[in-house]
Amino acid sequence: MQRIYVDMDDVLCETAHGFLALLSRIHDRSIEYEEIVSFDLGRSFDLTRDEVDAFMERAHRDDVLLDLDPIPGSIETLHEWKHRGYRLEIVTGRPPSSEPISRAWLDRHGVPYETLTFLAKYAHLHPASDFERAKPLSELSRDDYCLAVEDSRDMARFLADTLALDVALLDRPWNRNGEEPLPGQVVRCRDWDDLRLRFPQP
């Protein structure tokens, strides 16, 4: 059975919008979605390191994560892929401590999936979190993955260059700029409808 790698934040759920609402509540600061140009929230949200650590701790509490909206078209597409026989694997960069609430969100919204893996994608950005329990990038093997869906430019490059995977990169403000062009296996998709057109048969 072929496997599809699916990221969670800003691929299945509207995490950035949820974080913006949280930023407004706890820092009384208003930033537009299009201004989030980096995964480094210290840079994007103009926060100190201590403020970033406190923000990320608050952002990964149950009430924030469970309240995130699904991204239009995402869950419907996963149901289509599952019906066609693909094995769907959620691979997230969240801290492993968020596993119970992450599974609760997936269940609440009826997301079909076989496994949920916590990968140390962004441990270097949030050292105060519990990423020591996350799976290292070096242990992510290609196996039978036939497609990956990501919003991170760096992860898309890693998956294409290191694992020789086809990657659907959902267009986001933080993945539009980079010093080097993306590998040919990375296809930028406007949204999930566009993804289905570009990858009609993963």
User: Which CATH number do you get for residue 86?
Assistant: 3.40.50.1000
> What is the total count of domains within the chain?
2
Q: Are residues 181 and 144 in the same domain?
A: yes
For range 37-63, the mean pLDDT: 91
Structure tokens at 15: 């995490």
| Summary mean pLDDT of the chain | 91
pLDDT at 201: 82
58 is in which domain, residue-wise? 15-66
Cα 64–Cα 76–Cα 63 angle in degrees, nearest 5: 10
Q: Is the CA virtual torsion 61, 99, 118, 184 positive or negative?
A: negative
pLDDT in tens, 11-21: 999 999 999 99
Q: Are residues 98 and 182 in the same domain?
A: yes
Neighbours of 8 (CB within 10 A): 25
105 pLDDT band (50/70/90 cuts)?
Answer: very high
Q: Are residues 121 and 164 in the same domain?
A: yes
Exposure on the CB side of residue 93, measured as CA atoms within 13 A: 20
Q: Are residues 44 and 88 in the same domain?
A: no
Whether 79 shows a pLDDT value over 60: the answer reads yes
Whether 71 shows a pLDDT value over 60: the answer reads yes
Q: Which of 66, 88, 107 marks a domain boundary? A: 66
Whether 124 shows a pLDDT value over 60: the answer reads no
Q: Are residues 181 and 103 in the same domain?
A: yes
pLDDT in tens, 142-170: 667 899 999 999 999 999 999 999 999 99
Q: Are residues 134 and 169 in the same domain?
A: yes
Q: Are residues 91 and 50 in the same domain?
A: no
Q: Are residues 43 and 142 in the same domain?
A: no
Q: Are residues 163 and 111 in the same domain?
A: yes
Q: Are residues 83 and 35 in the same domain?
A: no
Please provide the size of the chain in residues: 202
Return the residue matching tokens 């989030």.
36
Q: Are residues 48 and 137 in the same domain?
A: no
